[in-house]
């Protein structure tokens, strides 16, 4: 994909309307990935993180689209539960912009996947297949529901 974006102007990063980057966070993120990343970065004694239980979206705050995010969350809610805020009213330490949506600075500046294009409608999904409240199949269906909600909203309101 990266080479395609670089080589083909018709598919270049400026020609996208919608970009959904589908992610899942599993228990091994906490037991394997984060410790390995901390070791790589020379961080000693890093605190254990919390994996949000449920589905949520990561919003690039430079491109707010609240109705689009609501459409996706409403679609996903029919399939699985939405991650609740923690005791500080946040998800993974980030401010919530609306139910099930956290806001972060520009995806491009942080090197996040949804920053690979300049799509007006762009987000990263997060789902937790190790949740005691959902099955991996429900999590897969939640990703599909998110895509459907995103595209239905664009078709109904933009095209």
Chain-centre distance for alpha carbon 129: 14
**Per-residue model confidence as pLDDT tens digits over 36-61:** 777 877 887 767 778 899 999 999 88
Taking the model in full, what pTM does it have?
Answer: 0.84
Q: pLDDT band at residue 110, thresholds of 50, 70 and 90?
A: low
Alpha-carbon distance of 126 to 21, in angstroms, equals 9
- Sign (positive or negative) of CA dihedral 22, 79, 97, 129: negative
Backbone angles phi, psi at 87, to 5 degrees: -65, -15
Strand partners, 19: 122
Structure tokens at 129: 């297949």
- 66 CB neighbour count, 10 Å cutoff: 11
């Amino acid at each position: 994909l990266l080479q395609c974006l670089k080589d083909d102007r018709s598919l270049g990063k400026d020609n996208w309307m919608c970009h959904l980057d589908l992610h899942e966070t599993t228990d091994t993120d906490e037991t394997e990935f984060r410790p390995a990343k901390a070791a790589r970065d020379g961080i000693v004694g890093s605190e254990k993180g919390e994996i949000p239980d449920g589905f949520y979206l990561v919003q690039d705050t430079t491109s707010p689209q609240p109705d689009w995010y609501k459409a996706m969350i409403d679609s996903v809610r029919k399939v699985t539960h939405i991650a609740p805020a923690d005791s500080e009213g946040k998800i993974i330490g980030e401010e919530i912009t609306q139910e099930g949506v956290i806001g972060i600075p520009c995806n491009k500046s942080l090197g996040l996947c949804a920053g690979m294009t300049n799509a007006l409608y762009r987000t990263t999904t997060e789902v937790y297949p190790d949740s005691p409240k959902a099955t991996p199949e429900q999590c897969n269906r939640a990703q599909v529901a998110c895509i459907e909600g995103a595209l239905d909203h664009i078709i109904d309101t933009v095209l």
